[in-house]
Structure 1
Amino acid sequence: MDKMKVAYEAMLGLAAEMVLDEAVHKFRSDQIYKAIDQALAIGDEDTFYRLAAQLNDLKK
């Protein structure tokens, strides 16, 4: 039974880590999208391209 408990706890930990990673990824993506919108609104081409590159790296 102890082996099952250890395995179960490990799986719960992995699931929690996956949920947290996804939440952080979504938060970061949303922040970059907002910054891209702002860069477009003010016509800041350099910032737009930098943020677009960050977004592409995040999607990999």
Structure 2
Amino acid sequence: MKKNLLHLPQPKVNIMDSLFAEMLLDKALLDFQKEKLQQKIDQSLREKNKSEFLRLTEELIKLS
């Protein structure tokens, strides 16, 4: 016997849970981007690349 999936009850989505999940993902992405930028800034310092350092720090400031 074939079940008709269209007639199954759909789970209710809690809007607050969805917003919380979205905020959590946004924060995780932002933290990841900042960490990558900080690593690149450290690399530019090791290489004594002033122009790259200034560009990356500007980018980090915009993210903050």
Q: Same fold (TM over 0.5)?
A: yes
Answer 1 or 2: which has greater helix percent. Answer: 1
The letter of the residue matching 1:45 is: K
Q: Aligned residues, how many? A: 53
> Given the two structures, how large is their TM-score scaled by the length of structure 1?
0.84
- Partner in structure 1 of residue 56 of structure 2: 51
- Partner in structure 2 of residue 30 of structure 1: 35
RMSD value, Cα: 1.0
Percent identity between the two aligned chains: 38
Task: Look at both structures and tell me which one has the larger radius of gyration over its CA atoms.
Answer: 2
Distance, in Å, in 1 between the alignment partners of 2:52 and 2:61 is 14
> Given the two structures, how large is their TM-score scaled by the length of structure 2?
0.79
Aligned with residue 11 of structure 1, among 7, 11, 16: 16
Q: Could you list the per-position Cα deviations for residues 4-55 of structure 1 after superposition, in whole angstroms to 9, with x for gaps in the alignment?
A: x56xx11010000010000000000000000000000001100000000000
Q: Which runs of 5+ in 2 are unaligned?
A: 1-11
- Runs of 4+ in structure 1 displaced over 3 angstroms? none
